Structures are given as C-alpha cells and as structure tokens.
Chains A and B, each alone.
Chain A
Amino acid sequence: MTIYYSEDHEWISVDGNVGTVGITNYAQNALGDIVFVEVPEVGDDFAKGDEVAVVESVKAASEIYSPVGGKITETNGELEDNAALVNSSPDGDGWFFKINISDSGELEGLMDADGYKTFIAGLE
C-alpha cells in the first residue's frame, strides 16, 4: 500500500487498482471546522483534476479535486452524520471515497510523503 499526495492537499492510498482518497492534515487545519462533506455517487466517473467532492466548513465551501481518474466504488457514509471526522482523523476515519484507478500512470505526477512535506513547508 503506497500513499501519494497532490498539490491540492489530497492523499490517495493505493492498494492494487483501488485508491482511497481523503484530505491531508494541512488541508483540514486550513479549512477549519468541517460541518458537511458532499461525496460523489458510487458508479460516477471522474477524470484527474475533476471536482469530485465539496467540503463545507463553518467559514466556506471548498472543492476537492480527484487526484486520479476512475470510477467511484465506495464512499464514507460516516461523514454524513459526522463530518468532523475529517478534522479529527483526516488520514484515517475521515477518508472520502474509494476510486477504481483507470490509469495508474497518473499516480506518477503525485508526491510521496517526503515530497509533500517539503511542498507544504514551502507554503508557510
């Protein structure tokens, strides 16, 4: 299982063909208290970079972009009643959806954990 990171602060944990996607700790911290997550429909197809989900904090709505293309296979139903899981466990229980990756070559444009750490350090 390998975890990749996007410049839009999503992570994708890849197991075979299936990627589990969420937002990073940096992202949840910047967004603040999350009150609602609009996840995609199971079965929908997205291209890399498509708007795939929306995170509503007390302050504002923020779009989440798909780090890879593919078909949605599962969404995190827990978020419906408890969107704050994204704040408390962004890289665990606060995952958003699973996606069947159509082209694993798209993962190559993403960062590994060290690369992402350097990336966010440059944003400070």
Chain B
Amino acid sequence: MGAVNNDLLKTPLYSLHEELDGKMVPFAGYLMPVQYPLGVMGEHNHTREKAGLFDVSHMGQVVIKGNNADKWLETLVPGNIIDLKPNRIRYSMFTSEDGGILDDLMITKRENDIFMVVNAACKEQDIAHMRSNLPDHLELAELNNRALVALQGPMAAEVLARFASGADEMDFMSYAEVEICGATCLISRSGYTGEDGHEISIPAQKAIEVCKALLSEQEVEAIGLGARDSLRLEAGLCLYGHDITEDTTPVESALIWSIGKRRREEGGFPGAQIILEQISNGTITRKRVGIIPSGRVPAREGTEILDSADNVIGVITSGGFGPTFGGPVAMGYVDIKNSENGTDVFLKVRKNKLEAKVSATPFVPQRYYRKQK
C-alpha cells in the first residue's frame, strides 16, 4: 500500500487519526479513517446515542462572492437560492444539460457571499464548472486552509454549546460564525447522519486543537467513514456517485423536494426542460426507493432487483447492514410500476433470490432540531 499512499492527500487531522489509531484507507484521493478501534458498529451506535466527531475535510469548501452571486448560482442549480435568507442553508445539486446530477452540495447564503460544501470526488470538476459558467466578476475561492468536521448525535449540539454558546439554539439548516479555542469557526446546523448536530469549518492550523477539545468531552468519540456510510444510509440520504450520478435526474432520484416552487415555474437551470417535464408529466421510467431485505443478508451496491417472474426491474445503489435499524437496508432504482412502498421484490444475492420490500426512507427517523417559532 505504501507506494499507492504516497499519492494520497492528507487532511489537517491526519496526525490525530494516527494518534487515535484510525484505520486509514484511500477515499476520493485522500487517506481517511474508515474506523477507529471502537469499530464501525460501535461508532455507529455511539453517534445515534451520544455524539460522534467525523473528519470530512476531504470535502470541498468553496466561496463565491460578487454582485448577484445568488442569482448567478441559480443558473447552475435548481434550488431556490435568491430567496434564501442570510445565514440559512439549502441542499441542492449541480445539474447537467441532460438533467443528470453532476454533484450534490450544501449552499449557505452569508451576509456578503455564498459558502458551499461539495463532495470530495467532485470538487475540482465543480470548481471548473463554476469557473467556466459563472461571469468573471464573481470571485471564486476554495478554502484550502480549513478543515471540516461534523459533530453529530443527540448530544452533539449540547457539547458544541459548551465551546460556542448558543450553538444549541440554532435552527436546523442555519449558519453562524463562532470562536472555538480562539479560532474562527464556521458552523452549520446540518450533517449527513440523520441526527442533530453541526458541521464545523476550522482553520487548518487550529483543527487538531479544536478536535481534541471536542473529543475530550465524555460524550464524544471519533467516528470513521464506515459508520458515516451506515448512518447516512439508515437516514435515507444519497451518496453521490452511487445513489445519484450524472445518469440520474433529481426526479428519478426522488429529490424533487429540493427544487423550489419558483424554480419549477421559471426553470433557468441546466436540464430544466427535461427535469420540469418529468415533474409535471411524471415521465420517468424508474425511481430511487428504499429497499428492506426480509432476512439478515445485506444486499450490496450492484445487486440486481427482480420481480417474481425473475425479470430484472432495478439495481441496488447502496446497501448494507443498519445497526440501529437492526437488519439490512438498501436503496436503489426500480422501474416506476414497482416503486410503490410495500411492493414485493426479490434480490439476487450470489446464488440466492431473497425476498424484499420497497419501503419508505428514512429507515431510522431523522432527528433534526427544529426551532420553535
């Protein structure tokens, strides 16, 4: 592995992962911890029960600044960004002219600019896409000098509030700038586990100090990518490159909730004609659904989905064992006539044909913090 690893990037938290005895694996060009000694199951359960700290510094943090940045960004994404209030966050995606998804991302409208978090494997392509499609007056900067971590779980906000008072009173999908250990951190009440919590952007040189401070709180454990995957799968959240790709539209992906009413009326984003046609006329042939295998056998990515007559009607795009759910869970695409919740389907796992049901997601209820109005 040594020779391979030489080409891999390290996050500002690399030495902390080593100190914590993280098992480092290549992921999206980075050497990332897939698990720590607690193990995937233990880390998953700890996050659901208390609080877990994840290094997600491999993801891209990008800022766009300039007149009408929100209006211009809307030419690349179907989300309603113009009407987003300052310090509020929206989930959206870059779409292609064919209506496919180039990447999914979090967009934060700040007082004077727009802050985005994009997927690690897509960040260079996303930045090139924005540079070539946005006008020159907009300044685009990647925040290479910042780590990004997620603190997730039912006790996460309470822990963070010990360092940044009021963090626990922020609404879901809101943003603030706070001081933690003397460092200016950008915190977002969001995450990708289905749990309450924050994502925290930290100046690289202070990242280890801040993370050590968070980890010294008794509720917090370091969590690797293995548990991040099982947590997001149970929460019904899509993994780019697997559940959503250039070949799936937001309609097929069951993400039309992320396309605002005004955008559906006005269009004006790449692939709008195809996507809006699919919304208004229901002209899709397949759809992303949740799948619950009835036994104990997990169905992994690539597993064929069959009907009772053995016709291939779809494919699993993410699947594994859900520790909190207590059994295997998956998501995938099935033809539209088999996409109703409760439909009986079969999974071709090795030589076996296993029973399964199309099911609503999330598999484990999401527990985001909604502020009382």
Residues on A facing B (Cβ under 8 Å): 32-33, 35-36, 38, 54, 56-61, 80, 83
In the bound complex, CA of A80 to CA of B350 (Å)? 17
Residues on B facing A (Cβ under 8 Å): 34-35, 39-42, 44, 226, 230, 296-298, 300, 320-321, 323, 328, 350
Q: Quick check: A59 and B40 within 8 Å, CB to CB? A: yes
In the bound complex, CA of A7 to CA of B114 (Å)? 54
In the bound complex, CA of A61 to CA of B328 (Å)? 13
B24 CB to closest chain A CB (Å) equals 14
B245 CB to closest chain A CB (Å) equals 21
A58 CB to closest chain B CB (Å) equals 4
Q: Quick check: A32 and B300 within 8 Å, CB to CB? A: no
B157 CB to closest chain A CB (Å) equals 26
A35 CB to closest chain B CB (Å) equals 4
Q: Quick check: A35 and B298 within 8 Å, CB to CB? A: yes
8 of the cross-chain contacts (CB-CB < 8 Å) are A32-B35, A32-B226, A33-B39, A35-B296, A36-B321, A56-B298, A58-B41, A58-B44
Contacts of B296 in A (CB 8 A): 35-36, 80, 83
In the bound complex, CA of A35 to CA of B39 (Å)? 13
Q: Which 4 A-B residue pairings sit nearest by Cβ, starting from the closest?
A: A33-B41, A35-B321, A58-B40, A36-B296
Q: Quick check: B226 and A58 within 8 Å, CB to CB? A: yes
B26 CB to closest chain A CB (Å) equals 15
Partner pick for A59 among B42, B297, B320, B350, CB 8 A cutoff: B320
Q: Quick check: A58 and B297 within 8 Å, CB to CB? A: no
Partner pick for A61 among B34, B35, B42, B300, CB 8 A cutoff: B300
In the bound complex, CA of A111 to CA of B120 (Å)? 43
Partner pick for A36 among B34, B40, B298, CB 8 A cutoff: B298
A118 CB to closest chain B CB (Å) equals 21
Contacts of B298 in A (CB 8 A): 35-36, 56, 61
Query: In chain A, what residue has the closest Cβ to B41?
Result: A33
Partner pick for A38 among B34, B230, B297, CB 8 A cutoff: B297
Query: In chain B, what residue has the closest Cβ to A37?
Result: B296
B183 CB to closest chain A CB (Å) equals 34
Contacts of B34 in A (CB 8 A): 59
Query: In chain A, what residue has the closest Cβ to B225?
Result: A59
Q: Quick check: B39 and A32 within 8 Å, CB to CB? A: yes
B1 CB to closest chain A CB (Å) equals 11
Contacts of B300 in A (CB 8 A): 60-61
In the bound complex, CA of A83 to CA of B327 (Å)? 12
In the bound complex, CA of A61 to CA of B300 (Å)? 8
A86 CB to closest chain B CB (Å) equals 13
In the bound complex, CA of A2 to CA of B38 (Å)? 34
Contacts of A80 in B (CB 8 A): 296
Q: Counting chain B CB atoms within 10 Å of each CB, which of A33, A36, A58, A60 scores highest?
A: A58
In the bound complex, CA of A73 to CA of B301 (Å)? 33
Q: Quick check: B350 and A58 within 8 Å, CB to CB? A: no
Query: In chain B, what residue has the closest Cβ to A36?
Result: B296
Extra A-B contacts (17), CB below 8 Å, given A32-B226, A38-B297, A57-B321:
A32-B35, A32-B39, A33-B41, A33-B323, A35-B296, A35-B328, A36-B297, A36-B321, A38-B350, A56-B298, A58-B40, A58-B44, A59-B34, A59-B226, A59-B320, A60-B300, A83-B296
Q: Counting chain A CB atoms within 10 Å of each CB, which of B39, B42, B300 scores highest?
A: B39
In the bound complex, CA of A32 to CA of B230 (Å)? 14
Contacts of B321 in A (CB 8 A): 35-36, 56-58
Contacts of A60 in B (CB 8 A): 300
Q: Counting chain B CB atoms within 10 Å of each CB, which of A38, A80, A83 scores highest?
A: A38
Partner pick for B40 among A33, A38, A54, CB 8 A cutoff: A33
Contacts of A38 in B (CB 8 A): 297, 350
Query: In chain B, what residue has the closest Cβ to A83?
Result: B296
Contacts of A32 in B (CB 8 A): 35, 39-41, 226
In the bound complex, CA of A39 to CA of B66 (Å)? 62
In the bound complex, CA of A33 to CA of B300 (Å)? 16
Q: Quick check: B40 and A56 within 8 Å, CB to CB? A: no
Contacts of B323 in A (CB 8 A): 33, 58
Known: A32-B226, A33-B39, A38-B350. A56 touches B297 (CB 8 A): yes
In the bound complex, CA of A92 to CA of B323 (Å)? 25
Query: In chain A, what residue has the closest Cβ to B326?
Result: A35
B321 CB to closest chain A CB (Å) equals 4
In the bound complex, CA of A59 to CA of B224 (Å)? 12
Q: Counting chain A CB atoms within 10 Å of each CB, which of B40, B42, B230, B321 scores highest?
A: B321
